[in-house]
Amino acid sequence: MLKISNFSKTYSNGHVAIANLNLTVEAGDIYAFIGSNGSGKTSTIKAIVGIHDFDGEIIVNGKKVNRKNEIYKKDIAYIPDNPDVYENLTGFQYANFVSDLYEVEKNIREEKLEYFSNLFEMKSFLNNRISSYSHGMKQKIVIISALIHSPKLLVMDEPFVGLDPKSSYLLKEEMRKLARNGGAIFFSTHVLEVAEKLCNKIAMIDNGHLIVEGETTEILNNSDGLEQYFMEMIKK
Amino acid sequence: MKNTIILVKNQVINLLNIGNEERNKKETLIYTSLSLFSVFLLVCLYNFFSIKSIIEMGLYKYAVSYGVSISFFFVVLATIFKSNSIFFYNKDFEMLSSFPVKKSEIIASKFFILYLIDLIICESILLPDVMFLVFKQYISIELFFIFLVTSIIIPIIPMCVASGLAILIEMLGSLCKRKNIVNIILSFLLFMGYFIAISMNRGVKYSALEKIIENKLIKIFPLAKLFYIGEGLYIGLAIFVLASAVIFGLYCTLTMKNYDKIHLFLNRSFQGKRDANLTIKIKTPFRALFEKELRRYLGSSSYVINTALGIMVLCFVSCGCILFGISNIKNLFGISSLELILTQYGSLVIASFLIMSCTTSSSISLEGNNLWILQSSPVSIAKVVNSKIAVNILIHSIGYFFAVTMIFLKVKLNVIQMILVLVVPICYSLFISVVGLYLNIRYMKLKWNDEISVIKHSTAAILTNFIAIFMIAVPVIMMIFLNLSYQITMLMICTLMLIICKKLYQVTLSANLCK
């Protein structure tokens, strides 16, 4: 579903955010991307979804990530770490706007919007301007809008920040459902307990370099919990 | 005081985009300084020649008074459209409030920023004025320095008046659901009312030029009378300083002391009906982008007022001419040869109004932190670019429609003149829409705290305005100095503009919005 080969990202000021990253996310995977602040997680995620330029190759569902051909983006849904959305739109208008860009059919849109807005308890706020939403509600409207077009690959940057416990649980359930249905999830997180319980695969990066990649069960077999393992790895 | 200075310094850095790491700092600083200096120099030059002609007419008595009136007009115009954005709609207020600084220090820093901008406007008008007077020895060195010191106080009254009016308009708008539309209409009516009051000559028949000028100066700013050079000047200046202090005190008492209440009142938002029937309408990606862009545009009164004032004036005057006849409008504004101007140069007049209204020069920057939505969506850059250009053209087309209808109905034109009226404004509209967007992509400013810093003060916006003025001036200069006919000149200019437009559009389509 996602294949990253020889990936590097260097900023215009010369800072190398990530160097020579290689990893593969298969269909059905829930893949956690773990690392300290500034280790290159967000840079990688932004390159996958088309926000950043990069060196190397990224393939999403068989399609090459290419600035000049945006068609690969139809298979992706992106949820950023900060829910910066058009505040002058209502939640309903925003969700529709995103669906229009993904060319989602009317009946699917109606059904999914109804389902997700009820699930995340946003139905009664859809007609309000986003400027009146709390941080968590903005996060929810971004999640709802991202899921309407039934993405094959869900890319998320710290998705649980700002969500209430119930919404966090519901999002985890949706992630499991998507993976069961043949999709894949690739997300960054600092909450190692979530990665431990939710993900079947984990990658750890430090200072722009991949330090560990593999099945969660294998990693946990060789350590006393993910937190302990992470601390040992970054000390090396 | 120390905190206020730190806050002001920080805001100036942010305003000039110096601290932006996305682009080369040095390059940004050079371009911003150069463009600001060019505008400053241009205004200085214009005022220098205006003052020169007033003095050459033997009316040096009114020279400083003229400068004060003109600066009052421009400071009011500049402040009314940006003060609320700086004071009440700035994203940094909450963040700054969490620091160990007093609220009064934050407000003082914002007031000082506004004052600095207005002082630059004031000095660009008054400096050449008093310098010319002292060089030509109309005033003594002593008086020159007195005027120089007084010029520091001059922006206070127009600033307080305009800011107070802007707050009043916003508060009235906040009472209605369609807050922005009400704000735009009220601001426009206020501006037009003031403009008509200044221009109206009804019942006044002065034969002497001196009386006409005196009358106009007092109409623009009654206190300008206190700056007449001659006997009683010192008393006049003392009264002006006193009046400034009183108005400033009144402004601080009424607005700044009630800052929290006003802030809360202006930022309240109407809640939609919870059980509203939400009907889904499918749109193409382009249409969705276009409607989003239009909503974004109409959702910000400062964006509309700062980019469409020319179009509003064009519509207003065109409707006036259609309803009341050109002769009545001509008398109202005191432009005796209006009909002749419209017959011969109507196309350039319409084009001038259109080219001065550009939404694209800030449309990418205004995406700000929302740019990720477009970057990560499956839409081509062509659709994004076209949607932004389409909004600008739509706004232009409203003014174009009224102006062309008025000219076709009220002015007798030959076939060539008709073609020019139809074609020239379209060329200008396309040109400025593409140039604005190109410059915005070239000098993108995604990190900002208030919209005005992007809409008015960004490098792209300043350069676009500069190019717009240049493109109005070029045909006039060509006709005067190359002795070319109007038709030939416009044909050459339009061809050139379309070629540049095509090239820049292609460059824009291959632009990289990714970092």
Three-state DSSP string of B452-484 = HHHHCCCHHHHHHHHHHHHHHHHHHHHHHHCCC
At residue A145, the pLDDT reads 95
Distance CA B98, CA B67 (A): 42
- First vs last Cα of chain A: how many Å apart? 31
pLDDT of B152-172, one tens digit each?
999 999 999 998 888 888 888
Q: Are A153 and A183 in contact (CB under 8 A)?
A: yes
pLDDT of A14-62, one tens digit each?
888 898 999 999 999 999 999 988 889 999 999 999 888 889 999 999 9
Distance of residue B175 Cα from the nearest chain A Cα, in angstroms:
17
Distance CA B90, CA B238 (A): 36
Distance of residue A50 Cα from the nearest chain B Cα, in angstroms:
5
B266–A contact, CB cutoff 8 A: no
Give the C-alpha distances (Å, rounded to integers) separating B459 from B29, B220, B384, B491. 9, 31, 21, 30
At residue A156, the pLDDT reads 95
Q: Does the distance separating the beta carbons of B369 and A84 come in below 8 Å?
A: yes
Distance CA B187, CA B180 (A): 10
Q: Does the distance separating the beta carbons of B292 and A97 come in below 8 Å?
A: yes
pLDDT of B288-345, one tens digit each?
999 999 999 988 888 888 888 889 889 988 998 888 888 877 776 667 788 888 888 9
Q: What residues form DSSP beta bridges with A129?
A: A90
pLDDT per residue as tens, chain B (515 positions): 777 888 888 777 766 655 555 555 666 667 667 777 777 787 788 778 878 888 887 788 888 888 898 889 888 888 887 777 777 766 677 777 777 787 778 888 888 888 988 898 888 888 888 888 888 888 889 988 998 899 899 999 999 999 888 888 888 888 877 777 888 888 888 877 887 777 766 555 555 667 777 777 777 888 888 888 888 889 999 999 999 999 999 988 887 778 878 887 877 666 666 556 678 889 999 999 999 999 999 888 888 888 888 898 899 889 988 888 888 777 766 677 888 888 889 999 999 999 999 999 999 999 999 999 999 999 999 999 999 999 999 999 999 999 999 999 998 889 999 999 999 999 999 999 999 999 999 988 888 877 888 888 888 998 999 899 999 999 999 998 888 999 999 999 999 999 999 999 999 998 877 66
Q: Does the distance separating the beta carbons of B289 and A88 come in below 8 Å?
A: no
Burial of B240 (C-beta count, 10 Å sphere; 0-12/13-18/19+): buried
* Confidence grade of residue A220 (pLDDT, cut at 50, 70, 90): confident
Mean pLDDT of A8-13: 84
Per-residue DSSP letter, B118:
H
Per-residue DSSP letter, A37:
T
Better-scored residue on pLDDT, A4 or B204: A4
Q: Phi and psi of A79, rounded to 5°?
A: -120, 110
At residue B15, the pLDDT reads 66
Give the C-alpha distances (Å, rounded to integers) separating B317 from B27, B203, B220, B407. 42, 22, 20, 11
Q: Does the distance separating the beta carbons of B272 and A128 come in below 8 Å?
A: yes
Q: Are B329 and B320 in contact (CB under 8 A)?
A: yes
B370–A contact, CB cutoff 8 A: yes
Nearest to A131 among B269, B274, B368 (CB): B269
Give the C-alpha distances (Å, rounded to integers) separating B89 from B267, B367, B449, B463. 8, 16, 9, 25
Give yes or no for residue A235 having a pLDDT over 80: no
Nearest C-alpha neighbor of A79 from the set A22, A120, A140: A140
Mutate to test the interface with A, among B274, B372, B379, B451 (most CBs of A within 10 A): B372
Judging contacts by C-beta atoms under 8 Å, the chain A residues touching residue B273 are 127
Residue of B nearest to A92 (CA): B278
Q: Are A188 and A1 in contact (CB under 8 A)?
A: no
Retrieve residue B34's tokens: 């150069």
B287–A contact, CB cutoff 8 A: yes
Distance CA B461, CA B451 (A): 12
Q: Does the distance separating the beta carbons of B512 and A67 come in below 8 Å?
A: yes
Per-residue DSSP letter, B325:
-
Judging contacts by C-beta atoms under 8 Å, the chain B residues touching residue A53 are 512, 514-515
**Strand, coil or helix: what is A11?**
coil
Nearest to A101 among B278, B377, B514 (CB): B377
Q: Does the distance separating the beta carbons of B514 and A50 come in below 8 Å?
A: yes
At residue B272, the pLDDT reads 61
Mutate to test the interface with A, among B367, B377, B448 (most CBs of A within 10 A): B377
Nearest to B271 among A72, A86, A132 (CB): A132
Judging contacts by C-beta atoms under 8 Å, the chain A residues touching residue B285 are 100-101, 103
In this prediction the ipTM stands at 0.90
Nearest to B296 among A88, A106, A109 (CB): A88
A27 Cβ partners below 8 Å, 6+ apart? A1, A152, A182, A183, A184
| Amino acid at position B412, single letter | K
Judging contacts by C-beta atoms under 8 Å, the chain B residues touching residue A70 are 377-380
Helix, strand counts (H, E) of chain A: 8, 10
Nearest C-alpha neighbor of A60 from the set A130, A145, A151, A193: A151
Distance of residue B273 Cα from the nearest chain A Cα, in angstroms:
7
Q: Does the distance separating the beta carbons of A124 and B378 come in below 8 Å?
A: no
